[in-house]
Structure 1
Amino acid sequence: MNRLAHEQSPYLLQHASNPVDWWPWSQQAKEEAERRDTPILLSVGYASCHWCHVMARESFEDAETAAYMNAHFVCVKVDREERPDVDAVYMEAVQAATGHGGWPMTVFLTPGGEPFYFGTYFPPRPLHGTPAFRQVLEGVRAAWADRREEVADVAARVTADLTGRALGLPADASPPGPDALGAALLGLTRDYDSRHGGFGGAPKFPPVMVLEFLLRHHARTGAEGALQMAADTAEHMARGGIYDQLGGGFARYAVDREWIVPHFEKTLSDNALLCRFYAHLWRATGSALARRVALETADFLVRELRTPEGGFASALDADSDDGTGRHVEGASYVWTPEQLREVLGEDDAALAAAHYGVTPEGTFEHGSSVLRLPRTDGFDSPPVDAARLDRIRCALLAARDERPAPGRDDKVVAAWNGLAIAALAETGAYFDRPDLVEAALGAADLLVRVHLDTHGRLSRTSRDGRTGTNTGVLEDYADVAEGFLTLASVTGEGVWTDFAGLLLDHVLDRFRDDSGALYDTAADAETLIHRPQDPTDNATPSGWNAAAGALLTYAALTGSTPHRAAAEQALSVVRALAPRAPRFVGHGLAVAEALLAGPYEVAVVGAPEDPRTRALHRTALLATSPGTVVAAGPPSPAPEFPLLADRPLVDGTPAAYLCRGFVCDRPETDPDEVARRLGSHEA
């Protein structure tokens, strides 16, 4: 009997009808393996994973393969987005053994959970040196039956290697200084693709945390090269096929170095981070490109990922029905010249083909093209006949909406909703879009009502307003705290600071050891073969770096010395990594820039409905000085923010106090002077 039918995860539910006798990750599955004296076959993936779908069709839906799996293994299916701790532990083993990783991840374990054979996707027949899945199954079964001592030895050595990798803080637990950040910039410059933007070769992922560091480094030092790398990469991505030119939002990554052909999956986490980055790029430069992409991406998040409960779903699938019943990657998004003519007619189709780079040869499969903007004129200059092109875009989007839609993974992940809250709150504030701020408030309300228990502990996931059994990991606490702190600055509602403080208390109490090092899981979480811990960023900021950022922001808003000290301790690892691996600690580098800048603490005192207060508040929010925090509210003997305490009006006029470490300069009543001092920009 397949046991996945009662799970919450859309990924596990995708496999509920497989003939494989799947178990969810559980102690019961380990006990069953022990009882039967068989290995565990652990398969890890996620709902919008293209190759996960491929392996499912080829192997897990095949009756003969499933029968062999059921006879010789206890088969366990894990959604990596629900259980990032399980994924991290075994992915570390896969990467150490094979030199690469990816999903679906396929690992064979002893009944005690110790890994001894590793891989990712296995085809149904041998392919390019990769054995067939059936060959792997037969080989592992034979090794378990005939070479048990060898298997046990491998499992013990791998497990010992993993458990010996605990990361302590450097002896000098101090954060990166100007020299370390300068060395990081130099390393990024060496790896920069000056022709196409981004770093390294194919495949190319949006390096969003690094781009945020570059913006902050420019704001602090004036280094034009840092800003140029960030702006040029942003333009290449926005022109490329990785950006949805019709509906907004970014695909997961580009398979080529020119950003033309994407892997079409669209995730909440990527788009929340990119929405916020483009808003910050506009804040720094006034770029029309950045404004358009930030707003279109925000609208994509609200239109296509918001759930009925007010949260945001995890992802849209890469695959969809191509109209013949086959699920094909990118089917929803690509166009042929003939399809353009069917929708637009001959003349408009010709203009659309030229504008979006659609050719008879195609840029994707079977003569189809991914839409992009290969114009040679400046991006910010209006194209000829902009109104006509806008009508074309609307017509194509309406036609695309008639196509079968990609599947949606509608589980709500706490960490990624925290990222979305921060992005939507700031984008709404910058561009006078109160609807986006309301969407951020709706998601925050869901997290408080559904994910947060009475002790301040977070559940990682929910679906249909009900939480699963998965406890929050470090990135959940850190990213949700960051979202709440951003919401507090934008709305002037101090309660969000209080909620953030509750979460960060758990970070300090349950996710740190005595040295100040951080772990991905809480001390009282399920015990795995080792406790995962990683200060390097991946597609999202590492929990370690995200926690450092949230701790620093909270300290700036509240004056808490312990939170600032914990942030500085955490950043000491970034100091060690900055010169040799800057691409993998971009978020930590960005937090370090804020630390060097102070950061500024801006207390805006005045009646919220007073236009003068609103002008000062908006100017403070638009500050480019790294990590600037803003507290806004009326004068009060018991203000909602500690930063507002003892900050009176100036001659009855709203005022902004610019402070560092709660020590303030003379208050300013002129928004232009506040803008000059904070580097604020108004386009």
Structure 2
Amino acid sequence: MNRLAGATSPYLLQHADNPVDWWEWGPEAFAEAARRDVPVLLSVGYAACHWCHVMAHESFEDAGLAEYLNAHFVPVKVDREERPDVDAVYMEAVQAATGQGGWPMTVFLTSDGAPFYFGTYFPPEPRHGMPSFRQVLEGVDEAWRGRREEVAEVAGRIVNELAGRAGVYAGLAGAEVPGREAMRQALAGLGREFDERNGGFGGAPKFPPSMVLEFLLRHHAATGSGAALDLVERTCAAMARGGIHDQLGGGFARYSVDAKWVVPHFEKMLYDNALLLRAYLHLWRATGSPLARRVAEGTGDFLLRELRTPEGGFASALDADSADAEGRSREGAFYVWTPEQLVAALGEEDGRRAAERYGVTPQGTFEEGASVLQWPGEEEPDASDEELRARLFAARELRPRPARDDKVVAAWNGLAVAALAEAGALLDRPDLLDAAVVSAALLIGVHRDENGRLLRTSRDGVAGANTGVLEDYGDVAEGLLTLHGVTGDARWLEVAGELLEVVLDQFADAASGALYDTAADAEPLIRRPQDPTDNASPSGWTAAAAALLSYAALTDSERHRAAAERALTVVTPLAGQAPRFVGWGLAAAEALLDGPRKVALAGAPDDPATITLRGAALAATAPGLVVTAASADQPLVDGAPAAYVCRRFTCDAPLTDPTWLRAGLSATPDE
């Protein structure tokens, strides 16, 4: 066993028995590189990463290669999900140098952390124009020993280039607050990039556009835009019927390798499923779509069944790979079917019917004649289809399961809390709401240190050592604020306020209002990461801005509103330039334009009339709407619970009829 044997990250533990003498990221590894006068090999990946597994089996388990690596480098292994700051800084360097990025990420560093050679996956022998990993190691070692000045020059230039990029986004901040024209530009840009044939945006590989869907739904609610709703409905239908959606067990895979949503990259991530649960839930709320409700419920069921940990948190991911019938580790083995396998599971007649219903062909849509299950028809499943699905699901449960990365990431659990809380309330699913409450309790009970600062991860109920980054604060605050609105419990609002104080104190730039991804007192890296654009999940910048805005609406805090507005100014230039990559910021901007509206409820939380009013408010589509308890100067009306609708610190006359409340909140506001 190497130094990773004591790690808490499942990804690092996967490498604990490598012959490579791995170090965890930290000053000790860099001090060792300085002492030995050798470079650091930084290898970054995550537990559910297919090509990380491939490179590990091909190279890091090879004793001869490991002997060379150990002799000439200090190898450092990083879980990108535990250290998103390290990953972001060096991924930026990789992308700048090579024009592309991905995982596993392979970077060679000097002992002071400066990068000088980059790559991602390297094969064990030369292939498709790529050098072998051994050739890369030998070439870097030769350059280090024989051309040190050249290495130092390259490293210095890269560090300077990264430093020069540091102010790019801060420079965009400070413009005007996003207005209706910016929203129109964003919609126009998304329309140009929309895939008219297959739904979604862009070509292959195609990722679920979760944050963009939220913006489009809010834009439709705010303006009545049929074009915005059309993009959502067509994309959600295409994903739901495609192979990226698990037709048997619910939930979504990470992305589709093709433009038609047919063949997924089979890993399932918590953040994708939390975000997509909320997107489909909000589509159902806006339209009553049976498909959207079915997918939302199925995704919630998947989260509770597959990702919930014994402590009540939610695990990070399910692996893409699992053992096939011959015991080989294969991508997608758990999920794909041949016609013969369907017959073996269901019998001749039902097997043929299942093949027709789920698009399973003799030629297959995946590898070796196997097919990914789809739902090609536009009709919703009937009772006989559900019976068939249940039998297939039971048969699949007998297969070897994909591995689970069971670390709990604060940010992604915050997203899950928000989605499950709303789903529990809107779908009348107390089990989903209960799961949100337990996860939130874990976050505030385990994921905060003695100073109230967030810790990024936990495992088996024990917090890890890595401090929280901005997305942790933004997403956890979002989850707690949503849970407060659903339950009326003031403790969630209180803790969210404490987390947002840390955001203002540690992550905000006083001069520009821009936000950094790491705290001011965090471990210094070669540059302090900062990025307002969404990736697989909302950026920390826009997540925090949205939470600040919601908190301001709930508490009438001008300070939090001003901070949110300053942070959201970065959305104005990006709305027209790159709307696909600032969806969460655009959604927050729609909330800002709408007020956002607050419903303050006067009445005992357990009074049936109060509960009915709360349900009416939560069912409304006003962008960014928040729900809380009434203040002392907002009394009952003739002894009955009442709802006060407030917008920009001004409240309308109280309402006691839930029908009128819902109608008023769902109406398109004046621009």
TM-score range (shorter-chain normalised) is over 0.9
Distance in 1 (alpha carbons) for counterparts of 2:409 and 2:462: 12
Partner of 2:565: 568
More moved, 512-521 vs 401-410: 512-521
Paired position in structure 2 for 1:504: 500
**Partner residue in 2 for 1:310:** 312
- 1:42-81 to structure 2, matched below 5 A, reads 42-81=42-81
C-alpha deviations, 1:103-142, integer Å up to 9, x for none?
0000000011100000000111122221111111111011
Tell whether the 8 Å contact from 1:169 to 1:572 is kept in structure 2 after alignment: no
- Equivalent residue, structure 2, for 1:417: 413
Aligned counterparts of 2:174 and 2:568: Cα–Cα separation in 1: 11
- Superposed, 1:256-295 pairs within 5 Å as 256-295=258-297
* 2:139 aligned partner: 139
1:485 matches 2:481 = yes
Distance of 2:430 and 2:631 partners within structure 1 = 24
Of residues 603, 606, 615 in structure 2, which corresponds to 1:609? 606
Q: State the one-letter code of the partner of 2:625.
A: T
Q: How much has 1:171 moved relative to structure 2? A: 7.1
2: CA distance, partners of 1:135 / 1:203? 30
1:215–1:230: 8 Å Cα contact kept in structure 2?
yes
Q: Distance in 1 between the 2:454 and 2:340 partners?
A: 51
C-alpha distance after superposition, 1:647-677 (max 9, x if no partner): 1111112211111133111111111111111
Instruction: Look up the SS of the partner of 2:341 in the other structure.
Output: helix
CA distance in 2, matches of 1:438, 1:536: 32
Instruction: Give, in angstroms, the shift of residue 570 of structure 1.
Output: 0.6
Letter in 1 for 2:281: A
Mark the CA change 1:102 to 1:482 in structure 2 (over 3 Å): closer, same or farther.
same
Counterpart of 1:602 in 2: which secondary structure?
strand
Equivalence for 2:38: 38
* Contact 2:174 2:566 (8 Å CA) reproduced: no
Q: Which one of the candidate residues 369, 388, 401 is aligned to 1:367?
A: 369
Which of 240, 243, 268 pairs up with 1:241? Answer: 243
Q: Which amino acid in 2 is paired with 1:511?
A: F
**Is the contact between residue 173 and residue 566 of structure 2 (CA under 8 Å) also seen in structure 1?**
no
Partner Cα distance (2:77, 2:580) in 1: 32
Q: Is the contact made by 1:174 and 1:568 (CA closer than 8 Å) also made in structure 2?
A: no
Q: Is the counterpart of residue 661 in structure 1 residue 648 in structure 2?
A: yes
Give the alignment partner of residue 630 of structure 1, picking from 614, 627, 630. Answer: 627
Q: Which residue of 471, 474, 477 maps to 1:475?
A: 471
Q: 1:225 corresponds to which residue?
A: 227
Matched residue of 2:3: which SS?
coil
Deviations 1:531-570 (A, max 9, x none): 0000100000000000010000000000111111111001
Q: Is the CA contact 1:283–1:680 (under 8 Å) kept in the aligned structure 2?
A: no
Residue by residue, what CA displacement relative to the aligned partner does 1:328-385 show, whole Å, maximum 9, x if unpaired? 000000000000000100111111011000000000000000000111xx44xx45xx
1:588 aligns with 2:590: no
Which residue does 2:94 correspond to in 1? 94
What's the CA shift for 1:243? 0.3
Alpha-carbon separation, structure 1, partners of 2:522 and 2:342: 54
Within 2, Cα distance between the matches of 1:54 and 1:324? 19
The residue aligned with 1:528 is: 525
Amino acid in structure 2 at the alignment position of 1:233: T
Normalising by the residue count of structure 2, what TM-score does the alignment of the two structures yield?
0.98
Code of the aligned partner of 1:27:
P
Work out the CA distance in 1 between the residues paired with 2:355 and 2:481. Answer: 45
Which residue of structure 2 aligns with residue 678 of structure 1? 665
CA deviation after TM superposition for structure 1 residue 175, in Å: 1.6
1:403 to 399, 403, 423: 399
The corresponding residue for 1:557 is 554
**2:186 alignment partner in structure 1:** 184
The AA in structure 2 aligned to 1:517 is: A
5+ unaligned residues in a row in structure 1: which ranges? Answer: 633-642
Q: From the superposition, tell whether residues 645 and 194 of structure 1 become closer, same or farther in structure 2 (CA, over 3 Å).
A: farther
Match of 2:633 among 646, 649, 653: 646
Unaligned runs of 5+ in 2: none
Q: 2-side partners of 1:273 and 1:282: how far apart?
A: 14
Contact 2:173–2:570 (8 Å) recurs in 1:
no
CA offsets 1:302-341 (integer angstroms, 9 cap, x no match): 1111111111100000000113222100000000000000
1:338 is matched with: 340
Q: Secondary structure at the match of 1:644?
A: coil
Over aligned residue pairs, what C-alpha RMSD do you find?
A: 1.2
The code of the aligned residue for 2:121 comes to: Y
1:25 counterpart = 2:21? no
User: Within 2, Cα distance between the matches of 1:609 and 1:463?
Assistant: 35
Instruction: For 2:180 and 2:288, locate their aligned partners in 1 and report how far apart those are by CA, in whole Å.
Output: 27
Structure-2 change in CA distance of 1:573 and 1:365 (3 Å)? same
How many Å separate the matches in 1 of 2:350 and 2:611? 45
**1:12 aligns to what?**
12
Q: Distance in 1 between matches of 2:533 and 2:634?
A: 40
Q: Are the structure 2 counterparts of residues 680 and 291 from structure 1 closer, same or farther at C-alpha, using a change threshold of 3 Å?
A: farther
Counterpart of 1:299, as a letter, is D
> What is the CA distance between 1:610 and its match in structure 2?
3.0
Equivalents in 1 of 2:451, 2:27: separation in Å? 26
1:391-439 Cα shifts (integer Å, max 9, x gaps): 2111111111110000000000000000000000000000111111110
Q: Distance in 1 between matches of 2:431 and 2:174?
A: 47
The percentage of counterpart residues that share the same residue type is 69
> 1:680 offset after TM fit, Å?
7.8
- SS across alignment from 1:44: strand
